[in-house]
Amino acid sequence: MIYDVVIAGAGPVGLFLACELRLAGLSVLVLEQADNPRSPLKRIPFGMRGLSVPTIEAFYRRGLLRDIAMPQRPKADADSGNASKVGQGAQQLRRQAGHFAGIPFDYDKIDTSKWQYRLPSPADTNMAAEMENIESALTARASAMGVEIRRGLGVGDFDQSDEEVTIRAGGETFRGRWLVGCDGGRSTVRKTGGFEVIGTDPEFTGYSVQVEMADPEKLGSGRIYTPTGMYFQSQPGTIAMVEFDGGAFHRSQPITLEHIQVVLRRISCTDVTLTGLHLATTWTDRAYQATAYRKGRVLLAGDAAHIHSPLGGQGLNLGFGDAMNLGWKLAASIRGEAPVGLLDSYSSERHPVGAQVLDWSRAQVALMRPSGHSRALEAIIRDVIDTRDGATYFAERVWGVSFRYDLGGSHPLVGRSAPDFELVDGTKLGELLGNGKGLFLDFDGSTPLQALASRWNGRITYVANDVKDRLGLSALLVRPDGVVAWAGVANPSQEEAARAASRWFGEAES
Ligand SMILES: Cc1cc2nc3c(=O)[nH]c(=O)nc-3n(C[C@H](O)[C@H](O)[C@H](O)COP(=O)(O)OP(=O)(O)OC[C@H]3O[C@@H](n4cnc5c(N)ncnc54)[C@H](O)[C@@H]3O)c2cc1C
């Protein structure tokens, strides 16, 4: 059998991409090297992941928000309100709106009136979810949709021809028309495929540990900068710390209680004594990105395409954004419906977004260095973040509210996520995107636009209905990934709408 797409890696990005491709009717095989998806590192506290607007919107639009955010809640609760206000983790995030290198910004200071195209939506600005739950919800969804997931099969190597990719994994051979590497930061697909990566080497080893202490009172709580590094005790015994050792320790030696004690003493400038080590992992601020996300019939998404430190919690969001952008484009290419250049727009749209996130993480490293220069810079950022404009800027960046692809277009909404318009019958725009197709929303129900939309029948859903708040628009065309492709004001130009539809959905039927 030849699959339309073989995905290496059943991590969150591979699983979400599999769902997107299956939504478009493709045959999808996911190969995962681990036998068991469970790990204590995927559970709270270390498995807690902060999700930003584009991710929350993607889950909402595909009907996944409830499964990911609050599996323990009864359906009625889940339907009634704002996802980020329920769930213990979400409440923790609510007290402080977010942070930059540990410098917090407050909800009260954020000027949301600047976000003129954000309408009330079940997809709020931020929420927290547990990694293990994200993966199990996506696995359940993918399996229910008919994605084949094979565990215990690590992709070893592959060859590609003009028509297909032959993949060898765990002594078996698989064929796919396309291969997507979603196999994480140490991606075999990236290395075997000869993708070039460029970036910056690490300055520190980061540690996330759960320990018992004989004298816990010796450590402070919250995030503490010292002359030798930074440590953050989120709850008693749960500590993250960074040591500026050039990343030397990471994966070079076993993590022992003795080593953690030495490092913690050095960083905290105390003589704290550890009596137990329950869980420990290390990470670095290595920041590298593939220069291109596609080589022939092989593509990269998620950490396979870009790696950076977990500072500011953006990696997973970046990966979901890749999957949401790639899924419909790859599906259209396979079905022979893609306009010229559609698949290449995956790299050209997503690479700059990845580069920005890498820079965001590098900027935080610069602030965290144990030097007088960094403390001076930190003091300035603290002042700025405490202003209304400062808090709003950081919230926009951390939550992805200001996110926009540069698609040209005459209206400021083009390239942005579509506002969650509410139709007069109560239906929300997000619900209309559940089928993974494009959406022509025509507030006036004008005949010419209807006729236009019918030429892309099957690829674009046409909905004629007024909305409660038009935001000055009369119609809009939304891509399957929720991005506005065209926005029309009064007496919208048919030509512009037709051009946008052809650009993203290919040739119209005559
Ligand atoms: C401590 C910490 C905190 C973080 N917090 C946040 C946060 O708050 N918000 C956020 O957005 N991000 C956060 N991140 C980053 C986020 O976890 C990653 O960016 C995300 O997991 C990447 O998903 P992925 O699917 O691309 O890769 P992975 O999660 O690494 O999944 C890759 C999968 O591929 C499998 N695999 C590997 N090699 C092969 C192979 N050869 N063949 C088949 N399968 C293979 C692996 O077993 C794995 O299942 C954090 C990371 C860390 C370490």
Question: For 253-300, how does the pLDDT look when each residue is reduced to its tens digit (9 = 90+)?
Answer: 999 999 999 999 999 999 999 999 999 999 999 999 999 999 999 999
257: exposed, middle or buried (C-beta count within 10 Å: 0-12, 13-18, 19+)? middle
> What is the model's pTM?
0.94
The answer to whether residue 70 scores a pLDDT higher than 90 is no
What digits encode the pLDDT tens for the residues 34-59? 999 999 999 999 999 999 999 999 99
Highest mean pLDDT among 39-48, 55-64, 79-88: 55-64
CA-CA distance, 213 to 104, in Å (whole number)? 27
What digits encode the pLDDT tens for the residues 141-152? Answer: 999 999 999 999
Instruction: Write out pLDDT tens, residues 494-508.
Output: 899 999 999 999 988
Q: Which helix (H) or strand (E) holds 306?
A: strand 306-307
DSSP E strands, 352-450: 438-442
Residue 250 has pLDDT above 60, yes or no: yes
pLDDT at 90 > cutoff 90: no
232 contact partners, CB below 8 Å, separation of at least 6:
102, 222, 223, 224, 239, 240, 241
How many residues are there in the chain?
510
Does ligand 1 have an atom closer than 6 angstroms to the CB of 126?
Answer: no
430-465 tens-digit pLDDT:
999 999 999 999 999 988 888 888 999 889 999 999
Cα(269) to centroid of ligand 1, in Å? 33
Which residues are bridge partners to 287 per DSSP? Answer: 200
3 state DSSP class of 185: coil
What is the full DSSP assignment across 211-241? Answer: EEES-GGGS-SEEEEETTEEEEEEETTEEEE
C-alpha Rg value of the chain to the nearest Å: 24
487 within ligand 1 shell (Cβ under 6 A) = no
Q: In the predicted model, what is the mean pLDDT of the chain?
A: 92
Distance, CA of 234 to chain centre: 24
Rounded to an integer, what distance in angstroms lies between the CA atom of residue 170 and that of residue 33? 8
Question: Does residue 82 carry a pLDDT above 80?
Answer: no
* Mean pLDDT confidence for 14-34: 98
pLDDT at 89: 41
Answer whether residue 510 shows pLDDT above 80: no
Q: Please tell me the distance from the alpha carbon of residue 288 to that of residue 358, in angstroms, as a whole number.
A: 8
Please state the rounded mean pLDDT for residues 76-96: 41
Handedness of CA 443, 449, 451, 456 (dihedral sign): negative
Pick the residue whose CA is nearest to atom 27 on ligand 1: 184
CB 89 less than 6 A from any atom of ligand 1: no
**What is the pLDDT confidence band of residue 124, given thresholds at 50, 70 and 90?**
confident
Q: Is the CB of 400 under 6 A from ligand 1?
A: no
Give CA separation, 45 vs 152, 280, 283, in Å.
Answer: 27, 12, 16
- What's the pLDDT score for residue 79? 35
Q: How many whole angstroms separate alpha carbon 481 and alpha carbon 323? A: 9
Tens of pLDDT, residues 171-195: 999 999 999 999 999 999 999 999 9
Side by side, the strands of the sheet bearing 484-488 are 460-464, 438-442, 475-478, 484-488
> What does the pLDDT read at residue 180?
98
User: Which residues lie below 8 Å from residue 112, measured CB to CB, with a gap of 6+?
Assistant: 118, 392
With b for 16 or more beta-carbon neighbours within 10 A and e for fewer, the 230-246 pattern comes to bbbbeeebbbbbbbbee
Report CA torsion sign: 445, 446, 447, 450: negative
What pLDDT digit, counting tens, does each position of 301-328 carry? 999 999 999 988 899 999 999 999 999 9
**Span from the CA of 276 to the centroid of ligand 1 (angstroms):** 27
- Output the residue whose Cα is nearest ligand 1's atom 38: 183
477 or 449, greater pLDDT: 477
| Per-residue model confidence (pLDDT) at position 299 | 98
Gap from CA of 33 to ligand 1 centroid (Å): 13
In this prediction, residue 448 carries a pLDDT of 85
What distance in Å separates the CA atoms of residue 284 and residue 250, rounded to the nearest whole number? 7
Q: How far is the CA of 447 from the centre of ligand 1 (A)?
A: 48
Nearest Cα to Cα of residue 101 among 382, 485, 480: 382
Residue 168 burial by CB count (10 A; 0-12/13-18/19+): exposed, middle or buried? Answer: middle
Q: Percent of the chain scored above 70 by pLDDT?
A: 95
Encode pLDDT of 373-397 as tens digits: 999 999 999 999 999 999 999 999 9
Give the pLDDT of residue 87.
Answer: 38
Give residue 95's pLDDT: 57
Q: What pLDDT is stored for residue 447 in this prediction?
A: 80
The token duo for 439 is: 């959406």
From the CB of 315, is ligand 1 less than 6 Å away? yes
The three-class DSSP label of residue 208 is strand
For ligand 1, whether the C-beta of 55 sits within 6 Å is no
Is the CB of 302 within 6 Å of ligand 1? Answer: yes
The answer for residues whose C-beta is within 8 angstroms of residue 231's C-beta and 6 or more apart is 219, 223, 224, 239, 240, 241, 242, 264, 267, 268
Q: What type of residue sits at position 206?
A: G
CB-ligand 1 contact for 184 (6 Å cutoff): yes
Alpha helix positions (H), 228-305: 257-268
User: What is the pLDDT confidence band of residue 92, given thresholds at 50, 70 and 90?
Assistant: very low
